[in-house]
Amino acid sequence: MKVAVIGATGLVGSKMLEVLAERNFPVTEIIPVASEKSIGKKIKFKGNEFVVVGMDTAIATKPNVAIFSAGGATSLEWAPKFAAAGITVIDNSSAWRMDPDKKLVVPEVNADCITKEDKIIANPNCSTIQLVVVLKPLHDKYKIKRVVVSTYQSVTGTGVKAVDQLMNERKGIKGEMAYKYPIDLNAIPHIDVFLENGYTKEEMKMTNETKKIMGDDSIMLTATCVRIPTIGGHSESVNIEFENDFDVQEIKTLLANTPGVVLQDDVDNFIYPMAITAHDKDDTFVGRIRRDETQANTMNCWIVSDNLRKGAATNAVQIAEYLLKYSLI
């Protein structure tokens, strides 16, 4: 089982390698791939060193699967070339997510849509992944009408440059800015570019990707996405309106028994999901579940997940695990 990781020297690519090792994915050969300036460098995987190669070299080695995390432009150019060589691509960028011919997959939600013919599979946006893992069982039971979500997203979602900016600000050091404004002691209601409708691209990703993954265009979703000075976890305040009424305890039991979801909801003992406790974990955590007392058939909850793991690397590796389990690669 040969596995290529494109963008292996980046923040997410490094996490991909870490998760592949931790989950004991049966890799017989790892092929780290990066930009020209990184070719020849060495990376470690399971205690061994591997030399970083370029795209053409990676294709020539004929990996079974290639996990891309090197940006949309790179994916648009190179994913079809890997696919044409018979290599299954799992792409972590936004390049293919809304392509009607490409599957957008969260394994706990819709992995059964994948076929052997799918040579480019899209990994959803980090904030969408953790949301739909919780929404899916609720939608199946109560039928979701509308979702209002506000996110509180980690600087790791932007990359190393943003982490450096935060740490520099905490030390009082002037350095390169990933954001237009200081991030420490701040909350910036701006993730990705602004669109003509006044929403950001990140907010519209959540709207459009949720409908595609859930397979239901009738779900209405509106989002506000905010960057905050945390590391290792995205948090979401979510208001969900159903067609059918519900029992709060029944919802807690349902979510507690959902694969990939951990219920943390004991306010008497101050137990609820937090970014600091979700860090470096693969699960999606949900708590603060309560009825919205202003509107019928509506609930509020708080969802947290590590954006580099379940929001990116772990979800991609889980897709690869599914492909392997059902002999799709």
Fill in the amino acid letter for 144. I
Helices (H), 186-242: 201-214
Mean pLDDT across the chain: 97
Buried b vs exposed e over 79-114: b needs ≥16 C-beta within 10 Å?
beebeeeebbbbbbbbbbbeeeebbbbbbbbbbeeb
User: Residue 68's closest CA among 114, 3, 5, 157?
Assistant: 5
- What tokens appear for 292 in the block? 């919205």
- Helix 314-325 and helix 11-22, axial crossing angle in degrees, nearest 10: 50
Mean pLDDT over 306-323 rounds to 98
Token code pair at residue 68:
């891309």
Q: Is the pLDDT of residue 140 over 90?
A: yes
What phi, psi does 312 have (nearest 5°)?
A: -155, -80
Helix and strand numbers, DSSP H then E, in the chain? 10, 14
pLDDT of 313 strictly over 90: yes
| Residue 11 φ then ψ, to 5° | -60, -50
Coil, helix or strand at residue 111: helix
Domain locations in the chain as residue ranges: 2-124+312-325, 127-307
What CATH class does 2-124+312-325 carry?
alpha beta
Share of the chain above pLDDT 70, in %: 100
150 vs 10: CA distance, rounded Å: 28
Measure the CA–CA gap between 285 and 268, rounded to whole angstroms. Answer: 18
Q: What is the pLDDT of residue 3?
A: 98
Q: Is the pLDDT of residue 217 over 90?
A: yes
For the record, the structure tokens of 135 come out as 């929404």
Residue 58's pLDDT is 98
DSSP-derived 3-state class of residue 214: helix
> Which phi and psi (to 5°) does residue 315 adopt?
-60, -40
Is 113 labeled as catalytic in the residue annotation? no
**Alpha-carbon distance values, 90 to 162, 209, 317 (Å):** 25, 16, 9
As a whole-number percent, the residues of the chain with pLDDT over 90 amount to 99
Find the mean pLDDT for residues 87-92: 98
**Residue in 126, 139, 279, 301 annotated catalytic:** 126
Pairing of strands 298-305, 284-291: antiparallel
Query: Do 127-307 and 2-124+312-325 have the same topology in CATH?
Result: no
Q: Which of 139, 190, 225, 234 is catalytic?
A: 234
> Which tokens sit at 146?
């509308």
Please say if the pLDDT value at position 273 is more than 90.
yes
The answer to whether domain 127-307 has CATH 3.30.360.10 is yes
The residue assigned the tokens 């392509």 is 99
Confidence label for 169 from pLDDT (cuts 50, 70 and 90): very high
Tell me: pLDDT of 316 over 90.
yes
Whether residue 232 has pLDDT greater than 90:
no
3-state class (DSSP) for residue 154 = coil
Tens digit of each residue's pLDDT (9 = 90 or more) over 5-53:
999 999 999 999 999 999 999 999 999 999 999 999 999 999 999 999 9
> What whole-number distance in Å separates Cα of residue 127 and Cα of residue 243?
24
User: How far, in Å, are 58, 74, 95, 278 from residue 305 at the CA level?
Assistant: 32, 27, 23, 6
Q: Parallel, antiparallel, or unpaired for β 88-91 and 120-122? A: parallel
